[in-house]
Amino acid sequence: MKYLFFILWVLPVCVQAQHDSCRLKLSGYVLDKQSHEALAFASVYLSQSETGTITDLDGHFELNDLCPGDADLVISHLGCQSRTFRVQLTGDTAYTFHLEHDSRELNEVVVTEHREAYTGSLPTSSISSVRLQAISGKPLGTMLKEVPGVWTLQTGPSIAKPMIHGLHSNRVLIVQDGVRQEGQQWGSEHAPEIDPYTAGEITLIQGAAGVRYGSDAIGGVILVQPPPYPTDTAVHGSISLAAFSNSLGGSGATRWSGQSKKLPAMQWRATGSYRLGGDAATPNYRLANTAFRENNLSGAVKWSKAAWQTELGYSRFSTDLGILSASHIGNLTDLEIALQADTPLILRDFSYYIQAPYQHIVHQVIRSFSTFRTGDIGHLDLNIAYQDNHRQEYDLHRMSDGGPALDLSIGTALAEAEWKHRSFMHTNGSIGISAMNQQNVWTGRFFIPNFISNTAGVFWMENWVSLPWKAEAGVRYDVRKLRSFRNDGEAITETTRNFSHLSWSGGIGWQQERLSLSFNSGSAWRSPSINELYAAGLHHGAAALEYGDPDLQIETSWQNSLSAKWESARLQIDLGAYVNLMDGFIYLEPQAPPALTIAGAFPVFAYKQTNARLTGMDAKISYTLFREFSLEAGAAVLRAWDITNNDWIIQMPSDRLTGGFHWHFHDGRDQGWDISAGITHILEQSRVPDTEDYAPPPAAYTLVRMEAGSELHWGNTVVNWSLSADNLFNTAFRDYLDRYRYFADEPGRDISLHVFIPIQTKNKTS
């Protein structure tokens, strides 16, 4: 044990670890030489590292994880003469490049990429592909906890969904490969049906982004973007493996992509993954029936021609999630004991077995994306998708036929057309329309009614760039019709609700070599979800009785944010502040006393509506003491005030403070090592309303994390690996945002090993 303890001390702890030996960043802008307008969709290729990217609508690009030295940067753009620039990389470097338009007529241009990253003025944060490798095997909601301003709304150790500045569920949109994720996401224990192994990068947009992405994007948008298709005829692949000590579980994934040699217009990619874990362990006991299984697959084929391209993709996500046995109590007396006990009333030895209560979810998506050049003035994008989400919840008291106690199936058809015009007078933008149809049916025990929802919207956005200034503005109008159906045994009753509202946004930014400032203001809205209106009964996974309010009105948000960033050779400071005024804010309020049902005794909650003010600040500071050794610190603060009732709002995250170091160095064989350590302190949530809750907020707690990683060289293959320890000192704690805090502690120490193996073979048969 003393040797293990010594190793854990020598191994590090981290805020952020990278695993290849070169970590420099090259960024900049590509502009027209004559007009100085931004050149969007310009190809930027670094020949030495064989990496490249496409400029965004502002003409901006960024290349990460580069090695020091001189390099040749090849930049090309439609209608311009390609140029090669010699750049010198001694540290993080930024340049502005100019291309001159070619007067000769172009006969044919092949469109090679279609989805640019978000280019608006709202604050964004990203998790790079390198970092995704280091934290692979975790749910999407848990991975996003590394981003400032993002908390996790949890239901036990295996169910997590992101919370941005106090907003979650239907207020945060997730867009995977251009498709808005739609399922039964209204529940706190309904985690996103997203496989993070499909992502090449995850970008989080903080703030009201409803103009571009539609109603419901009040809190922000999470973009899960796949890696780019290869541009050569080799087959590119990888294998990712992870093992976790706490649940004695692990995960594995393989990802492949290529371009046909015989049909160079065709490119493809495919991903498959599997996750497995047993009952999680707190420092003092096992969490009975928290095992999980997950298997996923996805694939896409793209065909590109001179002035158009089309892509067809399919994905399937399937998971079984155990629900904490101790959250389902048989009678009111035992429930009262459980709410006050330090140890769950139901315990069992470690097991991979998943018994009732549990959830079985299958989410399938088929999508099509096409883009067409519209002469020299722009291009038209068409996005069509269909999603099928099937959720089955099995109760501790099984149905007579052995089937699920609640069976929900929702189908969602989406279509969007967006026309993007080329840059003109320093301005580029788009105009578009979108439509969505949803149909939901249920069987088993009633919780929400069947419903049909139809949504349509039209939007217009423009971006203006004239360095060092840039600005954006946009407007959108959406309408939604919700028809719900109730069967009382004698007749079917239909209720129709109509919602509509305007969304708008505007922002301005200023950027010099080291300092950048931006201000954004925007309004977004959403209609109340089906459970907020009509829920009536046992919410199985949340282990609670929940009741909706059919008189709820729309929820609107007026959000203002100010951000500042300073970057020098040694010091990086990132600050952000926001004020969010929300009319008709909907929240879930405890209703004492608990109630006894045929399925057991449960806490009772009801949906309420009020006017609210959410204010907060995010801060992150990094300072390099000496070459490749840096210290980091951060803070996230939120204040949520009920304006109508002059009180605090329940179930809001408490303040979070972080700190740590990151050391990247080379050994004598020029092998790169990353060692990092981090500490997170969560304060006790003292700002709670006078409303009686079933348990007081948990005490403050402090967690320590360590991480170390390097690479192994096998011939021409470089294998990246990392070893990390979460909750290093095995601290016992409960988190205010976990619905199971009423019954059990959070998981204890978890030591994990991550291995990433890249594979490349020549495509000789295609």
Selection from 64-68, 185-189, 261-265, 501-505 with the highest mean pLDDT = 501-505
What is the per-residue pLDDT for 79? 65
Residue 10 has pLDDT above 60, yes or no: no
In this predicted structure, the answer to whether residue 141 has a pLDDT above a threshold of 50 is yes
Confidence of residue 592 (pLDDT cuts 50, 70, 90): confident
How much of the chain, in percent, has pLDDT values that exceed 90? Answer: 52
User: CA-to-CA distance for 190 and 363, rounded, in angstroms?
Assistant: 12
Higher pLDDT residue, 207 or 371? 371
The pLDDT of residue 48 is 61
Output the pLDDT for position 422: 84
- Is the CB of residue 30 less than 8 Å from the CB of residue 79? no
Of residues 366, 455, 359, 367, the one with CA closest to residue 407? 359
Structure tokens given for 321: 């999630």
Q: What is the pTM of this model?
A: 0.82
pLDDT at 474 over 80: yes
Q: Rounded distance, CA 215 to CA 97, Å?
A: 38
Question: Residue 12: what pLDDT?
Answer: 36
The separation between the first and the last C-alpha atoms of the chain, rounded to the nearest angstrom, is: 54
**Among residues 117, 89, 119, which one has the least CA distance to residue 26?**
89
Percent of the chain topping pLDDT 70: 90
Q: CA separation (Å) from 738 to 322, 483, 651?
A: 16, 33, 9
Where residue 762 falls among pLDDT bands split at 50, 70, 90?
Answer: low
Q: Where are the beta strands (DSSP E) in 643-700?
A: 647-648, 656-666, 672-682
Residue 220 has pLDDT above 80, yes or no: yes
Q: Residue 102's pLDDT band (boundaries 50, 70, 90)?
A: very low
What are the Cα distances from residue 67, in Å, to 73, 708, 715?
A: 14, 20, 20
Say if residue 551's pLDDT is above 90.
yes
User: What is the reported pLDDT for 401?
Assistant: 66
What is the pLDDT at residue 108?
33
DSSP string, 154-191: ESSSS-EEEEETTEEGGGEEEEETTEE--SSTTSTT--
Please give the Cα distance from 356 to 20 (Å, whole number).
44
Per residue in 233-272, pLDDT (tens digit) is 788 899 999 999 999 999 999 999 998 888 888 999 999 9
Rounded to an integer, what distance in angstroms lies between the CA atom of residue 535 and that of residue 529?
10
Give me the chain's average pLDDT, please: 86
Residue 348 makes CB contacts below 8 A (sequence gap 6+) with 279, 286, 288, 289, 325
3-class DSSP state of 376: coil
pLDDT at 53: 82
> What are the pLDDT digits (tens) for 43-70?
888 766 667 788 876 778 888 878 777 7
From 209-213, 296-300, 742-746, the region with the lowest mean pLDDT:
209-213
**Strand-strand pairing, 469-487 and 492-511:** antiparallel
pLDDT tens, residue by residue, 266-307: 999 999 999 999 999 999 999 999 999 999 999 999 998 888
Residue 514: pLDDT band with limits 50, 70, 90? confident
Residue 77 scores a pLDDT above 60: yes
264: left (phi over 0), alpha (psi -120 to 50) or beta: alpha
Over residues 483-498, the mean pLDDT reads 86
Phi, psi (5° rounding) for residue 740? Answer: -90, 10
- Asked if residue 47 lies in contact with residue 71, where contact means CB atoms within 8 angstroms, the answer is yes
Residue 367, beta-bridge partner list: 313, 385
Confidence band of 667 (pLDDT split at 50, 70, 90): low
Question: Angle at CA 534, nearest 5°, toward 529 and 539?
Answer: 90
pLDDT bracket for residue 437 (50, 70, 90): very high
Asked if 168 contacts 83 with a C-beta cutoff of 8 angstroms, the reply is: no
Give the model's pLDDT for residue 35: 59
Span 392-403, pLDDT tens digits: 999 877 655 678
Among residues 116, 113, 249, 131, the alpha carbon closest in space to that of 200 is found at 131
Confidence band (pLDDT; 50, 70, 90) for 670?
A: low
pLDDT of 136 above 50: yes
Q: Quote the CA–CA distance of 109 and 93 in Å, as a whole number.
A: 31
Residue 717 has pLDDT above 90, yes or no: no
Most confident of 21-35, 219-233, 382-396: 382-396
Residues 322, 278: Cα–Cα separation, whole Å? 9
Query: Domains in the chain, ordered, with CATH?
Result: 222-556+581-610+661-762 (2.40.170.20)
Say what the pLDDT of residue 50 is: 60
The residue among 160 and 496 whose pLDDT is bigger is 496
